[in-house]
Amino acid sequence: MFCLLLLFFSCASVKQPQPPAEITDPELVQEPPLYKLSFVAAGDNLINMTMIDSSLEEGVYNFFPVYTEVKSIIQQADIAFINQETLMAGASFRYSGYPQFNTPSSMASVLVDLGFTVINHANNHAMDMGEAGILATLDLWDSFSGIDCIGIRRTKEFTPLLVTRNNISLGFLSYTFSTNNIALPRDKPWMVSMIHRETIAAEIALLRPLCDFLVISVHWGDEYQHEPNAFQTDLAGFLAEHKVDVVVGHHPHVLQRAEYIERPDGKQMLCFYSLGNFASNQVREETILGGLMYVQFLKREDNAFIGDAGLIPLITHIEPGYTKTKVYPFYKYTAELLKGHRSHGKGGNFTMSFFNSSLAALNTKLFMYNPFTTDLQ
């Protein structure tokens, strides 16, 4: 009997539940999901008086035709940023171009229709219409839902911008080097975000822990110079030290290179020193060449990193007499179109070869197609 009982319990012990065996087959191991967020950024949307005059149709300022050729690119981005160089303070301030700009408010509807959701006004023309012009422009942007305006503000309190799409969060900050010697209100020096390193460091410290990626817009550099100056490169190093992920540069009105800069944590900061003009009627030949920054942000679990990135070159076509302005992706622009440009035949380097060599000199990845499609146009 004792032997039978011993046999019974020993058999029963074999049937006790066992921990699941470790899965070693790679086909059965599920990898954590990879999240993706696409981002585009445009440089200076600089609205000269000739653009205002040529947009007037039956008493309405219609800027939609200027941007139809680039709309399909911008609308496909998860988040799109633009430096709106000129205020939109309303007709009571009178519409004006250089040197103190005020653009018809209808431009705001165009930018929203294009797909821009982050609008920067921290630039050297932010004070062109004074304090009242800033407040009127903020009122205009407040009338649109889902639009964030950065670089100018009503109150002293700092409210960081955090935008989340596809389980990825982007933090945005913005600064300018100048307001063209137009003084900020004495009691409101915070109305325009200026480049002050102590302020930048403090604001980064507040926002950096809250976001997967930190994007900083900087209005800096020398106009019409294709190389970043010492101030730009030194400030870029400062931003990298503070673990910024992407720098969106503008102001020179011409393209400047992009580069990766090492950060103290071993990651890299992507810096586009200047995206040139998005649209303008400036007369210098090199100012009609601009670009859209394209960046793919990726995240798997706690690992956030930049994927594909580069420049989608743009060219601004201006017809004789400034009668029509249209922005084209460079891959859609032709030598035949160039012959109809207002500056064609006026000497200088106004050829497709000149623009191609200018782009090649950037030593930056170029998208000569729409990166949101597989159609290599």
Domain containing residue 342: CATH number: 3.60.21.10
Residue 146 domain-assigned (yes or no): yes
Cα 251 from Cα 98, distance rounded (Å): 15
Residue 27 lies in a domain: no
pLDDT at residue 4 greater than cutoff 90 = no
pTM above 0.75, yes or no: yes
**In terms of DSSP H, where are the helices of 67-127?**
71-75, 106-114
Mean pLDDT of the chain, nearest integer: 92
Can you give the pLDDT at residue 24?
59
Question: Quick one: average pLDDT of 276-296?
Answer: 96
Say if CB 37 and CB 79 are below 8 A apart.
yes
Query: pLDDT at residue 17 above 60?
Result: no
pLDDT-based confidence at residue 26 (cuts at 50, 70, 90): low
28 in a domain, yes or no? no
* Type of residue found at 331: Y
**pLDDT at residue 18 is higher than 80:** no
- Residue 373 scores a pLDDT above 80: yes
Alpha-carbon distance of 269 to 236, in angstroms, equals 9
Position 15 pLDDT exceeds 60: no
Number of domains in the chain: 1
User: What pLDDT is recorded for position 21?
Assistant: 53
Instruction: Judge whether 269 lies within some domain.
Output: yes
pLDDT score of 172: 98
- Mean of pLDDT values over 129-150: 98
The CA-to-CA distance between both ends of the chain, in Å, stands at 88
114 domain residue, yes or no: yes
In a domain, 97, yes or no: yes
pLDDT score for 31? 87
Portion of the chain with pLDDT greater than 90, in percent: 87
- Stretch 298-312: mean pLDDT, rounded? 97
pLDDT of 197 higher than 70: yes
Structure tokens of 129? Answer: 């219409």
* DSSP state, residue 368: S
Asked if the structure places residue 128 within a domain, the reply is yes
Domain containing 262 equals: 34-360
Question: At CB < 8 A and 24+ separation, what contacts does 145-149 make?
Answer: 146/117, 147/112, 147/116, 147/117, 147/119, 148/117, 148/118, 148/119, 148/172, 149/119, 149/120, 149/121
